[in-house]
Amino acid sequence: MAAADDVKWIRETFAEKVLETVEFRGEQSLRVAPDALHPVLEKCRDELGFAMLLDISAVDHLGETPRFDVVYELATLDDSKHLRVKVKVAEDEPLASAVDLWGAADWHEREVWDLMGIGFVGHPNLKRILMWEGYPYFPLRKDFPLAGRPTEMPDVAFTGVAPMEGGPFVANTGAPNAVLREPRSHASD
């Protein structure tokens, strides 16, 4: 069964919960209602053979309502079929976690939470993965300024130029051999 047949089967199974289907250059995408996301993903895994979750990402459509798209990239183990499942979500509307379906969803959902502020209900450990705990902003949102935000915590983060010269992880390009050029060789100095 091809991914196009899978999309047809999902549309028939979930009826009005499938809001849109798109085929572009052989790639299959479908948009589902937020309350149907987890059941659709479960059917994709259990009945259609999409055993791999490749990625979860989010797109910020600042000024639109709902504001975000969350995008799930699925594939079969033999890489013969790919499927993109999308869902629109409002700023303060969490989605059902997919960690119970694919273990790979763990870090993907944490990254989406950390950088976009989209929560996942049922996630076993939804905490920041890149930014530090307590950081009040979501850096990949379109309303986040490119130059960053001033901070009151200079020991943790700062907005100036990072002092790199002489640091423990800076390569010494003038060293006489490869061992001394390695950044790790300066860590014990």
Q: In the chain, where are the structural domains located?
A: 3-146, 159-189
pLDDT digits (tens, 9 = 90+) for 18-57: 999 999 988 999 999 999 999 999 999 999 999 999 999 9
- Look at 188 and 33; give whichever has higher pLDDT: 33
- Average pLDDT of the chain? 87
Residue 13 clears pLDDT 90, i.e. is over it: yes
Is 39 in contact with 57 (CB distance < 8 Å)? Answer: no
On the question of a cis peptide bond just before residue 39, with omega within 30 degrees of 0, the verdict is no
Confidence of residue 1 (pLDDT cuts 50, 70, 90): confident
Confidence of residue 153 (pLDDT cuts 50, 70, 90): low
Name the DSSP letter for residue 72: E
Please report the pLDDT score of residue 22 as a whole number.
95
- Look at 154 and 119; give whichever has higher pLDDT: 119
Q: Residue range 78-84: average pLDDT?
A: 95
Domain 3-146, architecture per CATH: 2-Layer Sandwich (3.30)
Residue 174 clears pLDDT 80, i.e. is over it: no
3-state DSSP helix/strand/coil % of the chain, to nearest 5: 25, 20, 50
Confidence of residue 168 (pLDDT cuts 50, 70, 90): low
From the centroid of its chain, how far is CA 49?
Answer: 22
Task: For residues 10 and 15, give the distance between their C-alpha atoms in angstroms, rounded to a whole number.
Answer: 8
Task: For residues 54 and 49, give the distance between their C-alpha atoms in angstroms, rounded to a whole number.
Answer: 14
User: Among residues of the chain, what percentage have pLDDT more than 90?
Assistant: 69
Please report the pLDDT score of residue 10 as a whole number.
97
Please report the pLDDT score of residue 183 as a whole number.
61
pLDDT digits (tens, 9 = 90+) for 86-130: 999 999 999 999 999 999 999 999 999 999 999 999 999 999 999
